[in-house]
């Protein structure tokens, strides 16, 4: 034929020591025979290795064509195909010559010749094209389409490419004629990564291996380069094994295989958009001050340019971690002066498009403290749930690390409130002092939503409760009046004003404020205050012996905790305590204990940082423990409440309530010797006595027989010196075991 094809027409040899790609190869072997298989992934994802391992295991005859730039000549391509088919299965020499002859530059003439050549083949054949991305000639691409759409049942074409192959992919998918393997299939598993490191004699502890696998996202070449780097220098001086995209080995590879293959305009797009963690067409347009970015992203996506789609509609993407590192290093080297402006543009777009946290991130990256402060004060008041609290702490740390707290009184208030709600009293006090000093220097003014800074400071004072109930009432009222109607802290201010009325002995004035706080919190985003306010309403219902209403409030409060992810918020301690009281009334002591276990986990956060809410919650918890006959937990929780009240003594009724509760606990030992003689099983039984449950139903809940319950009840009567269930209930209520 006048052309030497060498190994380009046969499957590559699988070298000894190659990591077996068992999972993906087994998938290929087990898949039903489809006309087309597309294996698509960026450089370094081991497409050739996977197909070579599969070719050496499959029962089918495999004709292999490794494409290069020279195959953009139609005659050369046809010769390669003919030679590969002949190597896999002898075909008639005339057909061989016919296919090898170049047509008259008319691609449409190729398909009939191929069909004629293939008609004489008697055995099933799979034709593999490797490195399809090198094929750019449209006539040569037509040859692939003609081969892929051959109407033979025993015929199969496999294409390995860095980008989507030049076939009618949508039609093949819709007709069920296509098997696709992508980056997720080609990525090495953590086990395969471990095998690679073992082959290269690199020893890694499991956590180090897991971190490298996470960082490389299973990219085979990235892991290989990491192993190579570690084999030369087993561990950096700082002990950090996380491979970065600007590591010399990785950077050289990415530049050679990716950046050097695209026009400078594309390189500029890649490096400048590397300031983004997530990319979309409109966002990239804003950052680059241009249009058409969506089309560029689509093109990069189809070329598998280490671009990871984040949604099914392919509107949002991110760069591979290592590639992102390289791009950012390139940007810092090429255009460092441009980086702040790119971040500012990103911040403005995110702020205008409902992505406030991303806006803050970019403003901080640009070093624009004024913009960060403005954005933080716009969004942080409604921060709820652990994820948002963590974000708020990051923002606060950014200001503190730069010594900027004293410049921004609103940020200082946010810091004090955040730390107070987390129960970190020393931090809260320190930030509160900074807020007052910054306010004096700043002179006040209004915040972006129209709230006065004075109202924010008043809310902070009410929350900290350092000056007693009267001041708390006045500060909370001032906060409500000065806060914008849409500010989520409206709910917190109403809650605190209601608590002030409650602790001042005026529950009738507290109830409507709790109602407002609950509704405003749900509407405006103050979920924590809303949950606490609903729980307060539930406790008021219990005080009024309205158990159906208490149960409804408990259900609503628990739903708020679940929906807003408040499981670690101190407000959920009161919510769980309310729900436990309802469960006890319903005779479900086991459920009550589980709820109180959840509340107990939050007890360390109930400190004098927010004294009124913390002390009230702790006292309610102690009462609930008494109702469960858990005197040890009741004493421990009461002690925590007294610690708060010792530091903040002017909290209305709470000090008297703590004394009364302590007296009741002491009475259990001093006045009812029999109660101290109750066994653990008998103590578990006590919460069920005031319920409507029969002995049989109590036994079902305690998982014991009716006779066992009857025996235990008789023992309780004897020890308490009573003769009936009603007398037992009266006696236990008298000494406080039911709260």
Rounded to 5°, angle at Cα 580 from 574 and 582 = 110
Instruction: Please check the confidence at residue 442 and state whether its pLDDT lies above 70.
Output: no
Instruction: Please check the confidence at residue 510 and state whether its pLDDT lies above 90.
Output: yes
Question: Among residues 138, 160, 186, which one ends one of the domains?
Answer: 186
Same domain, 78 and 199: no
The answer to whether position 688 is within a domain reads yes
Q: At 14, give phi and psi (nearest 5°).
A: -80, 110
Same domain, 169 and 63: yes
pLDDT at 32: 85
Query: Residue 736 and residue 580: Cα distance in Å, rounded?
Result: 17
Query: Residue 314 and residue 608: Cα distance in Å, rounded?
Result: 50
- The tokens for 598 are 């959840």
CA-based nearest residue to 610, from 459, 488, 453, 489:
459
The answer to whether position 131 is within a domain reads yes
- pLDDT tens for 102-139 read 555 445 566 566 666 666 666 778 899 998 988 988 88
pLDDT at 68: 83
The answer to whether position 585 is within a domain reads yes
158: β partners? 37, 128
Question: Among residues 614, 637, 663, which one ends one of the domains?
Answer: 663
Instruction: Say which residue, 669 or 482, is predicted with more confidence.
Output: 482
CATH number of the domain encompassing residue 17: 3.40.50.300
Instruction: Please check the confidence at residue 223 and state whether its pLDDT lies above 70.
Output: yes
Same domain, 12 and 127: yes
Could you give the count of Cα atoms lying within 13 Å of 208 in the half-sphere of its Cβ? Answer: 16
What single-letter DSSP state applies at residue 39? E
CATH number of the domain encompassing residue 696: 1.10.10.10
CA-based nearest residue to 196, from 216, 217, 226:
226
Confidence of residue 2 (pLDDT cuts 50, 70, 90): very low
Tell me the CA end-to-end span of the chain in Å, nearest whole number: 99
- The tokens for 290 are 């241009």
Same domain, 79 and 106: yes
Residue 151 near residue 130 (C-beta atoms within 8 A): no
CATH number of the domain encompassing residue 558: 1.25.40.10
Sheet holding 178-181, edge to edge: 61-66, 125-130, 155-161, 36-40, 178-181
3-state secondary structure of 126: strand
The DSSP result for 218-244, as a single string, is: T-HHHHHHHHHHHHHSSS-TT------
Same domain, 527 and 546: yes
Residue 423 near residue 604 (C-beta atoms within 8 A): yes
Q: What is the mean pLDDT of residues 232-236?
A: 55
Instruction: Please check the confidence at residue 386 and state whether its pLDDT lies above 70.
Output: no
Same domain, 93 and 209: no
279: β partners? 317
Distances (CA, A) of 735 to 100, 207, 229, 653, 713: 103, 55, 72, 21, 18
Question: Among residues 243, 276, 308, which one ends one of the domains?
Answer: 243
pLDDT at 348: 96
- At a CB cut-off of 8 Å and minimum separation 6, what does 557 contact? 531, 534, 535, 538, 575, 578, 579
Same domain, 86 and 213: no
- pLDDT tens for 315-334 read 899 888 878 888 898 899 89
Q: How many structural domains is the chain composed of?
A: 4
The answer to whether position 310 is within a domain reads no
- pLDDT tens for 604-643 read 899 999 999 999 999 999 999 988 888 889 999 999 999 9
Q: What is the mean pLDDT of residues 668-690?
A: 64
CA-based nearest residue to 65, from 78, 56, 75:
78
Query: Residue 575 and residue 496: Cα distance in Å, rounded?
Result: 16
pLDDT at 673: 40
- pLDDT tens for 555-570 read 999 999 999 888 888 8
Share of the chain above pLDDT 90, in %: 39
Query: Residue 499 and residue 536: Cα distance in Å, rounded?
Result: 9
Give, to the nearest 10 degrees, the angle between helix 110-118 and helix 138-148: 40
Instruction: Report the run of H or E that residue 64 belongs to, with start and end.
Output: strand 61-66
Same domain, 475 and 529: yes
pLDDT at 357: 87
What single-letter DSSP state applies at residue 100? H
pLDDT at 590: 84
3-state secondary structure of 661: helix
Query: Residue 76 and residue 644: Cα distance in Å, rounded?
Result: 86
Confidence of residue 3 (pLDDT cuts 50, 70, 90): very low
Same domain, 196 and 110: no
Handedness of CA 58, 60, 61, 64 (dihedral sign): negative
Same domain, 569 and 718: no
Query: Residue 522 and residue 146: Cα distance in Å, rounded?
Result: 61
The answer to whether position 502 is within a domain reads yes
Instruction: Please check the confidence at residue 385 and state whether its pLDDT lies above 60.
Output: no
Residue 74 near residue 103 (C-beta atoms within 8 A): yes
Question: Has this prediction a pTM greater than 0.85?
Answer: no
pLDDT at 92: 57
Instruction: Say which residue, 73 or 398, is predicted with more confidence.
Output: 398
Instruction: Report the run of H or E that residue 531 belongs to, with start and end.
Output: helix 527-543
3-state secondary structure of 178: strand
Query: Residue 521 and residue 514: Cα distance in Å, rounded?
Result: 10
The answer to whether position 369 is within a domain reads no
Same domain, 201 and 123: no
The answer to whether position 57 is within a domain reads yes
Residue 633 near residue 640 (C-beta atoms within 8 A): no
Same domain, 170 and 25: yes
Query: Residue 232 and residue 11: Cα distance in Å, rounded?
Result: 33
Query: Residue 144 and residue 138: Cα distance in Å, rounded?
Result: 10
Q: At 692, give phi and psi (nearest 5°).
A: -85, 0
The answer to whether position 284 is within a domain reads no
Instruction: Please check the confidence at residue 246 and state whether its pLDDT lies above 60.
Output: no
Query: Residue 490 and residue 529: Cα distance in Å, rounded?
Result: 9
pLDDT at 193: 86
* Residue listed under structure tokens 């040859």: 143
Domain, as residue range, for 204? 190-243
Distances (CA, A) of 109 to 18, 116, 415: 42, 11, 75
Instruction: Say which residue, 220 or 653, is predicted with more confidence.
Output: 653
Could you tell me how far CA 118 lies from the centroid of its own chain?
53
Q: What is the mean pLDDT of residues 520-524?
A: 91
Instruction: Please check the confidence at residue 7 and state whether its pLDDT lies above 50.
Output: no
Chain mean pLDDT for the chain:
84
Share of the chain above pLDDT 70, in %: 86
Could you tell me how far CA 490 lies from the centroid of its own chain?
29
Quick count: other Cβ atoms within 10 Å of Cβ 78? 23
Residue 717 near residue 723 (C-beta atoms within 8 A): yes
Could you tell me how far CA 146 lies from the centroid of its own chain?
46
């Amino acid at each position: 034929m006048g052309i030497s094809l060498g190994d380009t027409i046969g499957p590559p040899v699988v070298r000894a020591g190659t990591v077996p790609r068992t999972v993906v190869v087994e998938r290929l072997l087990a898949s039903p025979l489809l006309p087309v298989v597309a294996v698509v992934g960026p450089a370094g994802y081991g497409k050739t290795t996977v197909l070579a391992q599969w070719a050496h295991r499959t029962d089918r005859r495999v004709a292999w064509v490794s494409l290069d730039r020279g195959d953009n000549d139609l005659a050369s391509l046809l010769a390669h195909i003919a030679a590969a088919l002949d190597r896999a299965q002898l075909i008639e020499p005339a057909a061989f010559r016919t296919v090898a002859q170049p047509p008259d530059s008319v691609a449409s003439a190729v398909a009939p010749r191929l069909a004629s050549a293939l008609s004489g083949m008697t055995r099933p054949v799979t034709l593999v094209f490797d490195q399809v991305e090198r094929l750019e000639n449209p006539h040569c691409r037509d040859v692939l389409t003609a081969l892929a759409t051959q109407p033979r049942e025993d015929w199969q074409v496999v294409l390995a490419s860095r980008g989507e192959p030049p076939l009618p992919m949508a039609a093949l998918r819709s007709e069920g004629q296509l098997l696709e393997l992508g980056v997720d299939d080609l990525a090495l598993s953590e086990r395969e990564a471990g095998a690679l490191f073992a082959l290269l004699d690199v020893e890694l502890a499991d956590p180090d291996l897991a971190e490298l696998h996470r960082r490389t996202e299973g990219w085979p070449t990235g892991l290989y380069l990491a192993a190579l780097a570690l084999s030369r220098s087993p561990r950096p001086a700082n002990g950090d094994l996380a491979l970065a995209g600007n590591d010399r080995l990785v950077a050289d590879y990415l530049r050679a295989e990716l950046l050097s293959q695209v026009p400078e305009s594309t390189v500029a797009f890649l490096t400048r958009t590397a300031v983004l963690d997530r990319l979309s067409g409109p966002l990239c347009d804003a950052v680059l001050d241009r249009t058409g970015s969506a089309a560029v992203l689509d093109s990069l996506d189809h070329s598998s340019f280490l671009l990871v789609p984040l949604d099914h509609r392919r509107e949002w993407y991110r760069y591979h971690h290592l590639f992102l590192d390289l791009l950012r290093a390139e940007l810092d080297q090429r255009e460092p002066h441009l980086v702040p402006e790119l971040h500012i543009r990103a911040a403005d777009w995110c702020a205008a498009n409902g992505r406030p946290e991303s806006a803050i991130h970019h403003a901080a990256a640009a070093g624009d403290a004024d913009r960060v402060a403005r954005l933080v004060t716009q969004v942080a008041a409604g921060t709820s749930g652990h994820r948002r609290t963590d974000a708020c702490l990051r923002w606060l740390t950014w200001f503190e690390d730069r010594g900027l707290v004293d410049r921004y009184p609103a940020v200082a208030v946010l810091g004090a409130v955040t730390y107070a709600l987390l129960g970190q009293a020393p931090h809260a006090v320190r930030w509160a002092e900074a807020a007052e000093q910054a306010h004096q220097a700043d002179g006040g003014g209004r915040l972006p939503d129209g709230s006065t800074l004075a109202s924010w400071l008043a809310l902070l004072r009410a929350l900290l409760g350092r000056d007693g109930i009267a001041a708390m009432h006045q500060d909370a009222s001032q906060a409500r009046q000065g806060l914008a109607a849409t500010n989520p802290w409206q709910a917190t201010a109403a809650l605190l004003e209601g608590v002030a009325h409650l602790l001042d002995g005026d529950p009738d004035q507290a109830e409507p404020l709790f109602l407002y706080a609950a509704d405003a919190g749900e509407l405006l985003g103050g979920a924590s205050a809303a949950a606490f306010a609903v729980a307060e309403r539930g406790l008021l219902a219990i005080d009024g012996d309205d158990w159906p209403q208490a149960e409804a409030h408990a259900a609503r409060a628990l739903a708020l905790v679940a929906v807003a992810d408040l499981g670690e918020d101190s407000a959920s301690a009161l919510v769980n305590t309310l729900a436990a009281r309802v469960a006890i009334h319903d005779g479900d002591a086991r459920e009550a204990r589980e709820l109180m276990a959840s509340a107990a986990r939050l007890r360390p956060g109930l400190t004098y940082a927010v004294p009124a809410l913390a002390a009230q919650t702790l006292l309610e918890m102690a009462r609930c423990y008494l109702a469960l006959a858990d005197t040890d937990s009741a004493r421990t929780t009461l002690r925590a409440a007294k610690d708060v009240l010792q530091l903040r003594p002017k909290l209305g009724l709470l000090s008297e309530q703590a004394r009364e509760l302590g007296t009741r606990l002491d009475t259990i030992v001093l006045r009812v010797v029999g109660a101290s003689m109750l066994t653990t099983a008998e103590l578990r039984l006590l919460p069920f006595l005031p319920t409507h449950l029969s002995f049989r139903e109590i036994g079902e809940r305690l998982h014991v027989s009716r006779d066992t319950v009857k025996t235990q009840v008789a023992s309780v009567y004897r020890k308490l010196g009573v003769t009936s269930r009603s007398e037992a209930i009266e006696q236990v209520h008298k000494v406080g075991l039911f709260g």
